[in-house]
Amino acid sequence: MTVLLFFMPMFMFLVGTWIYISKRKHLMNMLISLEYLVLSIFMLLMLVTFLMGLETYVSLIFLVASVCEGSLGVGMMVGMVRSHGSDYISSFNVLKC
């Protein structure tokens, strides 16, 4: 029963990863999928710490870090829009910085 509980966050994790790596048009897709991933990992973390009888505040620390990461991602997207004109992934060139 407790193992079955893990299915949903795992499924969320896999779906989020799938969206992250698949080839889409916008950078915003990647950032939203990252937030989704964060949510799934938050849920997993809460579940694991509760079911093992540990303190659950570690998930708060994780949340703080993930918020910083989200804002960093948005800042990078803004920079990209300023330099490349839009957030299309196809305007990236791996060979040119």
In this chain, which of 12, 24, 39, 80 binds another protein, going by CB under 8 A? 24
The interface region with another protein, picked from 40-48, 58-66, 69-77, 88-96 by CB under 8 A, is: 88-96
Contact 67, 57 (CB under 8 A): no
> Could you say whether residue 17 binds another protein (CB under 8 A)?
yes
Contact 39, 74 (CB under 8 A): no
In this chain, which of 2, 3, 4, 93 binds another protein, going by CB under 8 A? 93
The interface region with another protein, picked from 20-28, 39-47, 53-61, 70-78 by CB under 8 A, is: 20-28
> Could you say whether residue 14 binds another protein (CB under 8 A)?
no
Contact 28, 15 (CB under 8 A): no
Cβ proximity to another protein, 29 vs 49, nearer residue = 29
Give 23's contacts (C-beta < 8 A, 6+ positions apart).
89
Please say whether the dihedral angle defined by the alpha carbons of residues 71, 73, 74 and 78, taken in this order, is positive or negative: positive
> Could you say whether residue 68 binds another protein (CB under 8 A)?
no
Cβ neighbours, 10 Å, residue 40: 20
